[in-house]
Structure 1
Amino acid sequence: MTDRPLSPADRSLLDAAERGGLDAVRAALAAGASVEARDDEGRTPLLRAAFADRVAVARLLVEAGADVNAQDPQLNSPWLVTGITGSVPMLHALLPGGPDLTRRNRYGGVSVIPAAERGHVAYVRAVLTETAIDVDHVNDLGWTALLEAVQLGDGGPAHREIVDILLAHGADPLLPDADGTTARTHAERRGFPEIAAALLAAEGRTLNP
């Protein structure tokens, strides 16, 4: 999938972005490569760099005007990919490009949701501290970041910390999933007593501010 036929310079840029070759990226751009060229899977150079966590290349591409929100047919964008990889350096590299914090992935989620599910503690803390992302965004499955951290997490230290971070940044513990089940109920059912206790305390604060 391409918007136009790829030139040799475009192909060089796409490959170099994924490999992390700064000199090759600069050379391809100087040769006229489009910063928004797309490979056969509809991925831009910046998206390929984001998947490969090529931070220096990403900075260069953002400076060259690459779109941090450009999505492939799977609805992955460079910014959304940071929630999958959990890369805080990539988050910082992309912020100057003006990420659309409301842009949704194929599940209808924003970047903090997959990060919470996957246990990316540092990323969850950074994206909530450094951006205005909606901590209570509900995806197409009816799940928030808090619900995914409990329902799809393993209850271990990383997910316990993520629950604490989400709550500290205002996540609503009373928001239920599509079946009407709250995060605390999921925690109790899954045998996560520490998470359940944290959620119970948060519910109390929410009901009795």
Structure 2
Amino acid sequence: MFTAVREGDELAVLRLLRAGVSPESADEEGRTVLYEAAVNGAPGIAGLLLAAGADPDRLSEGADAPLCGAACGGRTEVVRVLLAAGATPDLAEEGGFRALTWAVRWGHAGVVRALLAAGADPDLPGPSGEPPLVAAARRGSPGCVRALPAHGARARREALAETRRLRVPDVAAELRTGLEAAYGPGHTYVTRRWEQEPGTVTVEVRLVRDGMPVAGDNRQTGHDAIGRLLEDSPGAGGG
């Protein structure tokens, strides 16, 4: 079953289910096939497993929620399939992370919108205690910031302050500074840029050691647009 899921072979998954293989199958580490489908971005396979009885809220390896795995990877269609099957939008996995926490952290605006439409609480903080709107402002994703207040998110004043703090001319340099603070100076860094969301560039910096990436961070560059959104929105000066 795991091979079929990893290869995206829906027909093989269907045949295995019809042959009696459990949709709740897990490997020796407790990793479930539904979680595997979620992180691999396979909405069709996830739908087959759920229709066959897989529990959308079962934690893989006792720690990782399928909805969180899909949200972290920006798998919007899988998120929608899981929510339609009854996944709990605000389910916390090990460490206190929720799907909305992951989606905001990585700037997946489509996932944020799907979760909020399904009833996710726009103000539930992540493990660090910060509200989602502040995290979205730090990320630099106008799409995430636009979606949250539309569903009642608070902390606009704090989010605006964070946006102003992060209006820096060299995002890559700031990311390198953060990595150096965590891992020490003297490393090699590789930088790349791409358009994750229209109107912004995502900047990624990876720390490389012995030719292999060992750590990294990335951020979008939509802070000017976010500042305008928050300054123009009702309550921007309040909570």
TM-score range, shorter chain: 0.7 to 0.9
| TM score, norm. by length of structure 2 | 0.69
Q: CA deviation at 1:174?
A: 4.6
User: Would the alpha carbon gap of residues 56 and 106 (structure 1) be closer, same or farther in structure 2, given more than 3 Å must change?
Assistant: same
C-alpha distance in structure 2 between counterparts of 1:85 and 1:199, whole Å: 27
The residue number in structure 2 matching 1:148 is 135
C-alpha distance in structure 2 between counterparts of 1:126 and 1:132, whole Å: 9
- For residue 230 of structure 2, the aligned residue among 188, 192, 199 is 199
C-alpha contact 1:115 1:124 (8 A) present in aligned 2: yes
The residue number in structure 2 matching 1:184 is 160
Tell me which protein shows more strand as a share of its residues: 2
Asked if 1:111 is matched to 2:99, the reply is: yes
The residue number in structure 2 matching 1:49 is 37
C-alpha distance in structure 2 between counterparts of 1:114 and 1:146, whole Å: 13
C-alpha distance in structure 2 between counterparts of 1:201 and 1:40, whole Å: 53
The residue number in structure 2 matching 1:135 is 122
C-alpha distance in structure 2 between counterparts of 1:21 and 1:194, whole Å: 42
C-alpha distance in structure 2 between counterparts of 1:132 and 1:206, whole Å: 26
The residue number in structure 1 matching 2:214 is none
Number of residue-to-residue matches in the alignment: 184
- What amino acid is the match of 2:226? I
The residue number in structure 2 matching 1:37 is 25
The residue number in structure 1 matching 2:144 is 162
| TM score, norm. by length of structure 1 | 0.78
C-alpha distance in structure 2 between counterparts of 1:49 and 1:123, whole Å: 16
C-alpha distance in structure 2 between counterparts of 1:94 and 1:85, whole Å: 14
Q: CA deviation at 1:202?
A: 3.9
The residue number in structure 2 matching 1:126 is 114
User: Would the alpha carbon gap of residues 147 and 105 (structure 1) be closer, same or farther in structure 2, given more than 3 Å must change?
Assistant: farther
User: Would the alpha carbon gap of residues 161 and 101 (structure 1) be closer, same or farther in structure 2, given more than 3 Å must change?
Assistant: closer
Give structure 1 stretches of 5+ with no counterpart: 1-12, 176-181
Tell me which protein shows more helix as a share of its residues: 1
C-alpha distance in structure 2 between counterparts of 1:81 and 1:190, whole Å: 28
- Deviation digits for residues 119-163 of structure 1 (CA, Å, limit 9, x no counterpart): 21222122222x011011112211222121122x1x3xxx01221
Aligned residues: CA RMSD:
2.3
Give structure 2 stretches of 5+ with no counterpart: 168-222
- Deviation digits for residues 48-107 of structure 1 (CA, Å, limit 9, x no counterpart): 111111111111111101111111237222112221122221122222321012311334
4+ residue segments displaced more than 4 Å: 205-208
C-alpha contact 2:90 2:100 (8 A) present in aligned 1: no
C-alpha distance in structure 1 between counterparts of 2:237 and 2:28, whole Å: 49
The residue number in structure 2 matching 1:173 is 155
- What amino acid is the match of 1:76? D
SS at match of 1:204: coil
